[in-house]
Amino acid sequence: MTDIVITEFMDEAAVATLKARYSVHHDPELFGKPDELATLVADIPALIVRNQTQVRGALLAGAKNLKVVGRLGVGLDNIDMEACSARAIQVFPATGANSLSVVEYVIGTAMTLLRGAYFANSAMIAGEFPKTKLIGREIAGKRMGLVGFGAIARDAARHARALGMTVAAYDPYVPAGDAWQGIEKLELDALLATSDVISIHLPLTPETRGLIGEAAFAKMKPDAILINAARGGIMDEAALVAALKGGCLGGAALDVFEQEPLKADGAKLFAGTPNLILTPHIAGNTVESNGRVSGLVAERVMAALEGRA
Ligand SMILES: NC(=O)c1ccc[n+]([C@@H]2O[C@H](COP(=O)([O-])OP(=O)(O)OC[C@H]3O[C@@H](n4cnc5c(N)ncnc54)[C@H](O)[C@@H]3O)[C@@H](O)[C@H]2O)c1
C-alpha cells in the first residue's frame, strides 16, 4: 500500500530519504492526471504537492485517510486550509527554504531592468552597437518599495540595503516596532509614488486580488521598475501592459500569472510589450532551494507520520 503520493517534482535525494522508510509514489506530472491522482490518494496518509495541485474539493474528499500535506514551497492558495483544519489534516509548507532564491530573483531582475542590459542581445545580433542608447541606472541610492513585509520581503530588505538602497514597505498587518528597524513604514499610495523598484510580496487573498491595478500604476514614477514574484491575480496584467506600452512605467518582471501555466492565448497580451521580463514561476526555484525545500518538507512529513510534529 502506498503511504506518500508526490504529485510534482521533488529533489531526488529527498525522495530517496522518504523511500527508505515509506512506500512512495512520485510522478512529477501527476498533478495533470486527475483521474489517476484520485485513485492514488484514496487510502494514503500523506500527500506532497507544489503549487499546481489543487488540494480541495473532490480530491480532498476522496483522500479519506489523509493526515499530512507537504507543500514544496510557501504559498498556500492551492490548498483548502479550512477543509484541512476541519479534518485535522496537518499542512507543512517549506517556510523560509526558498526565500533566498526569490530575493536573488528580485535583485537580479531589478538590476537588469535598471540597466536595460537585457535589451542588448537582439540589437547587437542585428548588427547594432547601442553603447550610448543603453546607459542604465545603478541600484545603489534607489528606493526599494516592498508591498507586503513578511518573510521574503524582510530578506529582500536586507539585501537591498546591503546594495546601498533605501527601503520602504507597506504592510498594515505588521505592528509598528516589529522588525521595522531602518525600514520606512508607508501607506500604499506613498510607497507607490516614491519607490524606484516596487516588489510585491503578498499572499493572494480576496483583499489583495487586483490590488495593483490601473489606479496603482498611475501613481508610480514613470521610470519605476515593478516586480511580481508573489502571486498572479494580485496585479492586473492588462493594466501593467498598458502602463509599459504607454511609457508610464520603466520596466517589469513577472514570475507569476493570473492563469498558470501561461499558455499561448494568455501570453498574447504581453507580445510587443517593452522592458518586460517573463519567467515561468521559477523565482523560488533553484538547484539549491529545491534541495532545501524538498529536504525540509520530507523531514516534516516524516515527523508528522511518526507523531513527532
Ligand atoms: N514566485 C515564487 O517562486 C515564490 C516563491 C516563494 C513565495 N512566493 C510567494 O511570495 C509571497 C510572499 O511570501 P512570504 O513567505 O514572504 O509570505 P509571508 O506570509 O511571510 O508574508 C506575507 C505578508 O503579506 C502581508 N499581507 C497580507 N495581506 C496584506 C494586505 N492586504 N496588504 C498588505 N500586506 C498584506 C502579511 O501581513 C505578511 O507580512 C506569497 O504569495 C508566496 O506564495 C512566490
List of residues 6+ apart from 26 with CB closer than 8 A: 6, 10, 15
235 within 8 A of 263, measured Cβ to Cβ: no
10 Å CB burial of residue 287 (0-12, 13-18, 19+) is exposed
Mean per-residue pLDDT over the chain, rounded = 96
Give whole-number Cα distances, 23 to 47, 101, 135, 186, in Å.
12, 31, 57, 51
Full-model pTM: 0.93
Could you give the residue ranges of the DSSP H alpha helices within 126-236? 151-162, 188-194, 214-219
Q: Say if 244 falls within a structural domain.
A: yes
Q: What is the pLDDT of residue 50?
A: 96
Residues 122 and 218 in one domain: yes
Q: Say if 69 falls within a structural domain.
A: yes
Domain containing 231: what range?
99-278
Q: Indicate if the pLDDT at residue 1 is higher than 90.
A: no
Q: Say if 283 falls within a structural domain.
A: no
Residues 103 and 35 in one domain: no
Residues 190 and 259 in one domain: yes
Whole-angstrom Cα Rg for the chain: 21
Give whole-number Cα distances, 76 to 159, 204, 241, in Å.
25, 9, 28
Write the residue with the smallest CA distance to atom 40 of ligand 1: 203
Write the residue with the smallest CA distance to atom 32 of ligand 1: 171
Grid cell digits, residue 179: 522588525
Each residue of 202-219: pLDDT tens digit? 999 999 999 999 999 999
Q: Compute, in angstroms, the gap from residue 148 CA to the centroid of ligand 1.
A: 6
For residue 295, give the CATH number of its domain.
3.40.50.720
Q: Say if 239 falls within a structural domain.
A: yes
Residues 68 and 106 in one domain: no
Each residue of 18-49: pLDDT tens digit? 999 999 999 999 999 999 999 999 999 999 99
pLDDT band at 227 (very low <50, low <70, confident <90, very high): very high
Q: How far apart are CA 151 and CA 99, in angstroms?
A: 8
Average pLDDT over residues 265-291: 96
Each residue of 124-143: pLDDT tens digit? 999 999 999 899 999 999 99
Q: Indicate if the pLDDT at residue 178 is higher than 80.
A: no
Q: Which of 39-53, 168-182, 277-291 has the weakest average pLDDT?
A: 168-182
Alpha-carbon torsion, ordered 279, 280, 283, 284, to 10 deg: -170
Average pLDDT over residues 239-262: 97
Q: Compute, in angstroms, the gap from residue 303 CA to the centroid of ligand 1.
A: 26
Q: Spell out which residues line ligand 1, taking CB within 6 angstroms.
A: 73-75, 98, 102, 148-153, 170-174, 201-203, 205, 207-208, 229-231, 255-256, 281, 283-285
Residues 34 and 157 in one domain: no
- The atom number, within ligand 1, closest to the CA of 204 reads 41
Q: What is the largest CA-CA distance in the chain?
A: 66
Instruction: List the catalytic residues.
Output: 231, 260, 281
